[in-house]
Amino acid sequence: MLHKGSDSFTVEKPVEVPWQVVAYVLADFWEGVWGDRNQVPYSDIMAADGPAALLLLDSGTMGMHLTRMRQEHLIEVHRVARPWTVARNWKSKDTLLEAVYADADTDA
């Protein structure tokens, strides 16, 4: 948001959050809220008190980030039957960071 004057402002398009940041926030949230659980309902990630809302991401944008994390083998999304679930493929935030940095090295 830019301030134009004392009684007006302009709203600009927000900066896109990189998938790596979303992955780390998800891992941190998972550790703090869901602990050692390996799977959580997809809807919990999208909930008003979930990590998508924490990042102010709509469900479509968060879904795109989850797709990228799935492509990077950080998560698995199970959509065979409801409730859909997301399973983590990391043991800790540190192992997730190692995987993200390894991917960043190959992107460079």
Integer Cα distance of 68 and 24 in angstroms: 13
Q: What is the mean pLDDT of residues 41-50?
A: 96
Write down the pTM of the prediction: 0.81
> Residue 79 — φ and ψ, nearest 5°?
-120, 30
> Residue 3 — φ and ψ, nearest 5°?
-90, 125
Q: Is 34 helix (H, G, I), strand (E, B) or coil?
A: helix
12-16, 38-42, 55-59, 69-73: least confident range? 12-16
Q: Which CATH class is domain 16-107?
A: mainly alpha
Q: What is the pLDDT of residues 54-92, one digit of tens each?
A: 999 999 999 999 999 999 999 999 988 888 999 999 998
